[in-house]
Structure 1
Amino acid sequence: MKLDILAIGVHPDDVELGCSGTIINEVKKGKKVGIIDLTQGELGTRGTIETRYAEAAEAGRIMGIHVRGNLKMRDGFFVNDEAHRLQLIRAIREYQPEIVLANALDDRHPDHGRAGKLIADACFLAGLIKIETYNDAGQIQDRWRPKNVFHYIQDRLQEPDFLVDISDVFEQRMQSIEAYTTQFYNPDMENEGPQTYISTPDFRDSVVARARMLGKRIGVRYAEGFTTQKALGIRDLDALIQNET
């Protein structure tokens, strides 16, 4: 299946926290969107591999995505080397996305920045004809380089290069996050395991506050922010005109 957008997160729930509103927006516009989780989140304090798969599937259903896969890299211990790049190159060439949404290049969790660089490197290398990869049927894959790689903002606030209005889908976005019942605050799951940084009501409040703060910067109620290493171009200034609120 060729995708318009491929969102990649190192842990199940990274994509939901970082860019699920943008994904829902694009799905509603008829775009084909998929998600790849690099790891199974097996080092998470709460929940299990099995519960994370079930939660990811439910979150995907809520967002309306077309496909979700998991590359089963080692949570906490994957590296940005040839083997991991080739694994991701195969996935990029399989889905041929125009846009890739990726982990932040720097963040509180060391996996996030490492994954962000791995994804960016793999997207570039996937366009080189002399790197040969094969699909599951043993056929050589065509080279493919996404037109853009955008990094969503995660725990550490970064200055966004652009912001996306997610006001109309904000409640649906929060439902996709809350599908991870073992990970985030859920009064029915308080005995799931030790309290963590992300399992408190305060963390959920901070997610809402971040979206409100970013939304205020563009005159809307809620927004998600992205950074890009590639300059964005427009054909004329009309593309920058926003309705006054």
Structure 2
Amino acid sequence: MSNTDTSATPRVALVTGGSGGIGHAIVQRLTADGFAVAVHYAGNAQRAQDIVDEVVAGGGRAIAVGGDVADENAMAAAFDAVETELGGIDVVVNTAGIMILSPVASLDLADLDRMHRTNIRGSFVVSRLAANRLRGGGALINVSTSQTRLQHPTYAPYAASKAAVEALTLILARELRGKDITVNAIAPGPTATALFLEGKDQQTIDRLASLPPLERLGTPDDIAEVAAFLAGPARWINGQVIFPNGGIA
């Protein structure tokens, strides 16, 4: 019997980038579903601890774990801490990533290297650990972007890094045959996080909000709903890229 059917102990999720806007919403949603949650951070330890305190105050169970997602030793230590303190790992939601926008012709290759280190190497590090550490009935959920389909100018470096995440996700799902572990990616459209809104004037925000037929930006809660579905009941969805973007593409 898989751990999905176990009621004696809560399932455990590790959310990388859990102190960010989408990561925070996913932590809240999984906590509401009864998960014990590890809130991962790269630089903002206090923000992660504040989220842990929020979960605990609401009656949930949570810990904070730190580390550079591209550093295999730091992330192995983070996985160790989750297993030691929460008893194991059933779900990994890998939201950690950075976005640097630039036309290809004027791209600073140092920015490209920095972004690809976090988004590509980081996703491989986390996915490799998840492939070896997740319990049966578990789920790995990586995060891509709808920009892999939209082809908007200045997004090429970022979209290229996320296209690599999609390829990793789809192939890993097939490599884990027989382990009862699902591997999927979420590819959000424009989502109203503080990071997304920073530096954009109202005209730009309104233009992006008008793109989907639903005529609004996504919210972190919209993305968290999809993550919760893939983390829990969606056992027959595997090796897929899901596009929560209101029909933009």
TM range (shorter): 0.3 to 0.5
TM-score (norm 2): 0.45
More helix per residue:
2
